Chains A and B, each alone.
Chain A
């Protein structure tokens, strides 16, 4: 009796048999009508399967996405919380036992009385939350987006978003500082004193990472991971890719497509969506932004240290901060120290053509209050914003004359209808800093005025800029240009010790002036030196030598660089 080949029919239909078996089964089929019928059934079943394989269930994805997202968020929050460890329990038992031992140990009256009475040392644990210093247009992304206000505390796992006119500045538990640009969304994936992970979905964050000992500080953006040791850098994530810019220190960038690379101060690495990496120089706008976060972070640290000193002097019995952790201000203290953002009227920055948040306008939030070298507080990092209003040349015979209602600086440009500070954020009456506008150093650069209407051009500057040969460094007399006046003021300010407000203007001169660029670059370097920011000073000197290896300040630059 012939054996049916039912078991191998599916394999035959699926073309899984080798040649010999295939011929054997086909030979059998020619003589077995029953198996031929079975093969037809197999082919029918396979046809049904191939049709069903293409089908997809129609799910309500919006609902499913929301449910899964909520669960994931909950799970991540649970993971982010500190976990109860068995060794912690053991440690607690040991601590309790030690305390009991101390209490029950027979006291030595002589020894104890000989000791000076010190206040009990109370360790203040470093805060494990993220403190928000400035929150303009900042919301926490959750099922219901909730606004975040200054002084709020955030936790690991929070996803935050700034609006197109929003920005934020916050302190991380590891004493690092974070500046969030407009139209940015990022996640505080993990923010512990010894482990920080941020994820930038879109937009830009700038970080001044502390040098605290920790396991890891990593910023994710798409497929790119940026590993930090202690540095000032920014990470942006946009349609054109991920950009990592560094103004101080170095970071290690790991990308699945592009491999690994180190980005050092003065560089920016752009990794496009195809994974191609391009290393370029830091743009002035980025550098300015990074300088801002650096300045803000230093200002906050300085202010907090002052508070700590006052607290230490005032209250001996007060709590003592744990080593390595800056004492934190309460939200009330923070608010008292801070200019309310609402007190300033800032124009909504127009979105860029690419729809990607660029290095946005300089900081004008509470962080604008920072200690100057001369003591006290100075307002703001001088912004470099093209004024949206028509700007006209202040009346008057010469640039050195102050026009009524204009800034007292050398740039006698006035903005009608405003107090004519360089900021595009005019202050309301009674604002605290209205009297400090003379602190702002504006640069009436002809090059900057070039794209503006002709009325903006300072007539006397054009011929000078066009025909000026190499001139003495500090020419005197009535023929001095605004650039020269600005440089003089910057130099004078440097001698007095407070030159930071001239840094952006000097940078503009470096970029846009043919005559004053060298001197402006060196003045920037000297200014950084005076402000005890040696890395940036070195960077400036290096840039100078790169641009002018035989320049008039080359010797000074080489000496500074130790060459």
Chain B
């Protein structure tokens, strides 16, 4: 066994992020507050898949998703000292993701470019190509429908429908009241359904 054969020190791929408890994340946060770089790396390994998936749905972007992930963790590192444990850390993390996504969406919409070119055909890989193709098509449709939503509605809708967060948690994550969240969510659902209906109709007509 040589020194090179030893496991690499940091940022190695990690198992799926599901299963890590809030308590563990909070312990890591305490260590990060004490300037423990390795604790932050561990936190990164535990949460990076969640963060990437959330950013992907929030922005619908894939080509510069790594930039967004990086930006999120840079902001998180700056923001962790201010985390006082008043909410779940997961909520705090989603809030950082939401801010990064909002900034990106606003910037992107100012450019008025077509999103559809940014989503590659071969997005997802899996053992079943047919299922992977279905997933890719569904994701493409969902993201195009999400494009019709305003940025704030989209964040609320994605948090609730794709990330599984409740309205109270979303209210903490986006810094809005519970009623505002319910209102945005309700409106977003109507807009999303309408957009999906139109997209499916267009697809049927074109085929």
Contact = CB atoms under 8 A, between A and B. Distances in A.
B70 interface: yes
Nearest to B189: A10
B1 interface: yes
B66 A76 contact: no
B39 interface: yes
B200 A197 contact: no
A136 to B, nearest CB: 12
B141 interface: yes
A61 interface: yes
A157 interface: yes
Interface stretch (B6-14, B98-106, B108-116): B6-14
A220 B35 contact: no
Nearest to A216: B34
A256 to B, nearest CB: 5
B37 A157 contact: yes
A52 interface: yes
B149 interface: no
B108 to A, nearest CB: 16
Interface residues of A, number: 62
Nearest to B72: A68
Contacts of B12: 65
Contacts of A60: 66
A256 B142 contact: no
A187 interface: yes
A220 B31 contact: yes
Interface in A5-29: 6-7, 9-10
A7 B186 contact: yes
Contacts of A190: 34-35
A59 B70 contact: no
Nearest to B42: A222
A285 to B, nearest CB: 20
Interface string A378-411: 0000000000000000000000000000000000
B176 interface: no
B3 interface: yes
A55 B2 CA distance: 39
A91 interface: no
Interface string A279-322: 00000000000000000000000000000000000000000000
A52 B135 contact: yes
A64 B69 contact: yes
A56 B49 contact: yes
Interface string A130-158: 00000001000100000000000000110
A2 to B, nearest CB: 19
Contacts of B41: 69, 72
A48 B135 contact: no
Given A7-B190, A67-B70, A80 B1 contact: no
B73 to A, nearest CB: 5
Contacts of A476: none
Contact of A76 (B35, B53, B194): B35
A355 B176 CA distance: 52
A67 B34 CA distance: 22
Interface in A186-241: 187, 189-190, 197, 199, 201-202, 218, 220, 223, 225
Given A49-B161, A75-B74, A223-B27, A68 B142 contact: no
Interface string A45-77: 101110111111111110111111101110110
A129 interface: no
A346 B55 CA distance: 53
A217 to B, nearest CB: 12
A156 B143 CA distance: 45
B152 interface: no
A71 B74 contact: yes
A189 B34 CA distance: 9
A58 B66 CA distance: 10
Nearest to A185: B9
Contacts of A187: 36-38
Contacts of A45: 145, 192-193, 196-197
B52 interface: yes
Contacts of A220: 31, 36, 38-39
Contact of A164 (B1, B13, B142): B1
Contact of B52 (A52, A57, A156): A57
B193 A38 contact: yes
Nearest to B125: A58
A67 B48 CA distance: 13
B71 to A, nearest CB: 10
B77 A75 contact: yes
Given A75-B77, A141-B10, A159-B38, 15 more contacts: A41-B193, A41-B196, A42-B189, A49-B161, A49-B162, A59-B66, A65-B13, A72-B40, A73-B37, A75-B74, A76-B35, A164-B2, A166-B3, A185-B9, A220-B38
Interface of B: 1-3, 6-7, 9-13, 23-24, 27, 31, 34-41, 44, 48-49, 52-53, 56-57, 62, 65-66, 69-70, 73-74, 77-78, 123-125, 134-136, 138-139, 141-143, 145, 161-162, 186, 189-190, 192-194, 196-197, 200
